[in-house]
A and B are shown apart, each in its own frame.
Chain A
């Protein structure tokens, strides 16, 4: 019941950080989720796995810079206010 909007925000920041931290060469290629292994042609349905890989790749590309800003703000606020 103490599930507030603030904890949702915290969880969202942590999740996006987790996605951004996945390393392309050391990890994703080893489990077959690299960005160059996904494109299976122009079939009608991309399938869940390729959608997920697309999602991970786009999140990592788009959220790189905003994450730096959001993380810095979060660090400063947590240091100041606990």
Chain B
């Protein structure tokens, strides 16, 4: 699989669909509609078989104890019954999961590869030379993040959030202020601020009656990009003290400000304003204020969530 960056925690999203997909003869990258490489060949079966003993923690041959276990016909029946029950339950969950969590929509946001992640991180730290910020479309649907560096994704925000929590724990540990429940507190605090931001922006978008294609998940993705700058700032603060922290945080704040303005301008403001023509009327002005407010909230939150970690 080419997506070697995906950690185990996210891998449960991929296998069910790749098992059900009909094997295609051509290699994965030929069809842009296909989000992930097709691995439903014989190779995946051996990979799966290799993974299971590793996951269970029995790297030695697990065949012999299982053989003795299965010889008993009663336990054989029990296993068959149990596995059929599990299969039924899995079918039920698969049928209904799409009602609560939009899994198929979420898969679009995790269709990334190493090059995209590298380019996007570079863009987050240095957005000043990038010229074209439009997301490419393909027959009315936006192209997957793998093929366009401007598309939002959820991989970087999710990873950056988890890294932020870990780095916060590291920072607290170097100051002898660490205790395990503080990790949960940091995570929940950052999540609460994120939720509050999303709700506030959705409310103001509703009040200003902006007709955008900015979905909620897109918004979460954009707001999650600030964790990257926060991690950089805290790490520099750990290495070089307060001076390093303020320098790197200041740089990342300005970069995120520019990045958010350039990205949100295309989504919130009307087409005319996005191409540089001066705004006309109070409506566009209100939208401009909204974009600037959203972008200005990012550095504030970046500072608020990290200053207590660096002493």
Contacts and interface: CB of A to CB of B under 8 A. Distances in A.
B195 interface: yes
Interface in A34-82: 45-46, 48, 51-52, 55
Contacts of A1: 185, 189, 308
Chain A residues touching B, range:
10 to 19
A45 B185 CA distance: 43
B208 A8 contact: no
Given A46-B209, A48-B208, A51-B206, A4 B283 contact: no
A48 B207 contact: yes
Interface string B153-194: 000000000000000000000000000000001001101110
A59 to B, nearest CB: 11
A14 to B, nearest CB: 14
Contacts of B208: 48
B185 A2 contact: yes
Interface residues of B, number: 14
A4 B209 contact: no
A3 B193 contact: yes
A30 interface: no
A28 B111 CA distance: 49
Interface-central residue, B188, B191, B308, by most chain A CB under 10 Å: B188
Interface in B226-263: none
B192 A55 contact: no
Given A8-B196, A45-B283, A3 B207 contact: no
Interface of A: 1-8, 45-46, 48, 51-52, 55
Q: Which 3 A-B pairs have the closest CB atoms?
A: A8-B192, A4-B188, A51-B207
